[in-house]
Structure 1
Amino acid sequence: MTSNQTSRLIGAVFGLVFVLVNAGALPSTVGIPLRLLAIAAFMGLFTALRRAGVARTGGTGPAPSIFGRGYRLVVAAEVVAALAGIIVVNDLLHAPKAVVGWLTLVVGLHFFGLAVVWRMPAVHRLAAAMSACGAAGLVLAGCGASAAVIAVVAGIVPGALLLGAVWSTVRAGAGAGAEPASASEPASASEPASASEPASASEPASASEPASASEPASERLGTPA
């Protein structure tokens, strides 16, 4: 896999984990189908990414890595913020239900950094959506909402957003990889019939058959009476 495909796989893994973990707060009649759907979506993504990786093995060279210094700094800041927030929420605020919202908020904010580092403006939309879900989860936890409601808003919805975002990039990549027939088979340029068969130049009939010069002299002067 290329680095781009690896980053998509990481996003899909996070989306799967969000759904699997937070579906436990829901009744089994709802949580189990959600988990099965998430697993099926992840397996479909994994298969599509593997096929795309095999199809690109014959390329001109490896793609540049996106896991550079900027990426490592963003991820390091994300980990530090997540761990520090968990300590504050659990030990100081004694609000364990707010952990889900905090983690989602941190993940959403870290996508803003990745959008800048990777120069992908489209990632800002995912970052904004996930950050909004995390902030809503924090507000719900502060208002005393149930764990199930917080799990849906700050856990399952962000997981679905991640899986959906990866699906959209995979589909867009598959569409961009297709080559139009008009570009791959320029028939008009490869078969210039008018230039390869100059019939008028190869058969100058008037020059090759001078009939007036080949007649006998008697016919030209006339017969004596």
Structure 2
Amino acid sequence: MRVCAVHKNQIGRLIGAVFGLVFVLANAGAFPTAVAVPLRVLAILVFLKLFTGMRRKGAAPTEPDGTSDQTFGRGYRLAVAAEVLVGAGGLFVLARVLHVPEAAVGWIALVVGLHFFGLAVAWRMPAVHVLAAALTVCGAAGLALAGADAPHAAVAAVSGIAPGVLLLSAVAWTVRSQERPVTAAGPS
């Protein structure tokens, strides 16, 4: 049973790292090549380091009693379903009704941040609320910038690059905080 929890924690970290990488890769194009290329290369290198660290260290339990509450059960599925529906609906409204497609990255960051509040509850991991709040603020700020006709690079930095860095950093923190390798015998 413990192996299942470890596997699920690994998958959760991998999903976070992939989305962090995607945020940076997708939004770096708003900058001149001299900035975009190093941002993309750095994001890829960080992702590869995290991936290697996740594989090498395994996943430590997240609860003091040695158990892990991070699952992909009903709460997770509801949070992701709401994210997809609200995200797609908002993107449609921004592009087709309000005619502000440049606000899309802000909307995506906002919705991703809000979905993390649901995940924090579903996983009973209060620390995830911090990441949720930070991503939500990035999204709201990006929407405000887009609404004020700020340059695309400003919106991309606040709602694309910053959330990517936050996600990669959160995963890095969890990988670094693993104190012991997982053993078949369980906690000692």
Interval containing the TM-score (normalised by the shorter chain): 0.7 to 0.9
Q: 1:25 aligns with which of 18, 26, 30?
A: 30
Structure-to-structure mapping, 1:1-225, within 5 angstroms? 2-53=7-58, 66-173=71-178, 175-177=179-181
Report the 3-state secondary structure (helix = DSSP H, G, I; strand = E; otherwise coil) of the residue aligned with 1:106: helix
- Of structures 1 and 2, the one with the larger relative CO (CA 8 A, separation 6+) is 2
**1:92 alignment partner AA:** V
Alignment coverage as a number of residue pairs = 173
Instruction: Evaluate the alpha carbon distance shift between residue 168 and residue 70 of structure 1 in structure 2; reply closer, same or farther with a 3 A threshold.
Output: same
Structure 1 position 54, deviation (Å): 9.2
Higher-Rg structure is 1
Structure 1 position 123, deviation (Å): 0.4
**1:161 alignment partner AA:** L
Kept after mapping to 2: 8 A contact 1:3/1:63: no
1:173-224 deviations in Å (ceiling 9; x for gaps): 1x2549xxxxx9xxxxxxxxxxxxxxxxxxxxxxxxxxxxxxxxxxxxxxxx
Report the 3-state secondary structure (helix = DSSP H, G, I; strand = E; otherwise coil) of the residue aligned with 1:138: helix
1:87-134 deviations in Å (ceiling 9; x for gaps): 000000000110000000000000000000101011000000000000
Instruction: Evaluate the alpha carbon distance shift between residue 68 and residue 145 of structure 1 in structure 2; reply closer, same or farther with a 3 A threshold.
Output: same
**2:39 alignment partner AA:** L
TM-score of the pair, normalised by structure 1: 0.73
Report the 3-state secondary structure (helix = DSSP H, G, I; strand = E; otherwise coil) of the residue aligned with 1:2: helix
Q: CA RMSD in A?
A: 2.1
Structure 1 position 53, deviation (Å): 3.1
Structure 1 position 51, deviation (Å): 1.1
Kept after mapping to 2: 8 A contact 1:2/1:63: no
**1:129 alignment partner AA:** A
Same amino acid, percent of matched pairs:
61
TM-score of the pair, normalised by structure 2: 0.87
C-alpha distance in 2 between matches for 1:139 and 1:23: 20
C-alpha distance in 2 between matches for 1:172 and 1:66: 19
Ranges of 4+ aligned residues in structure 1 off by more than 6 Å: 62-65
Instruction: Evaluate the alpha carbon distance shift between residue 157 and residue 113 of structure 1 in structure 2; reply closer, same or farther with a 3 A threshold.
Output: same
Kept after mapping to 1: 8 A contact 2:25/2:43: yes
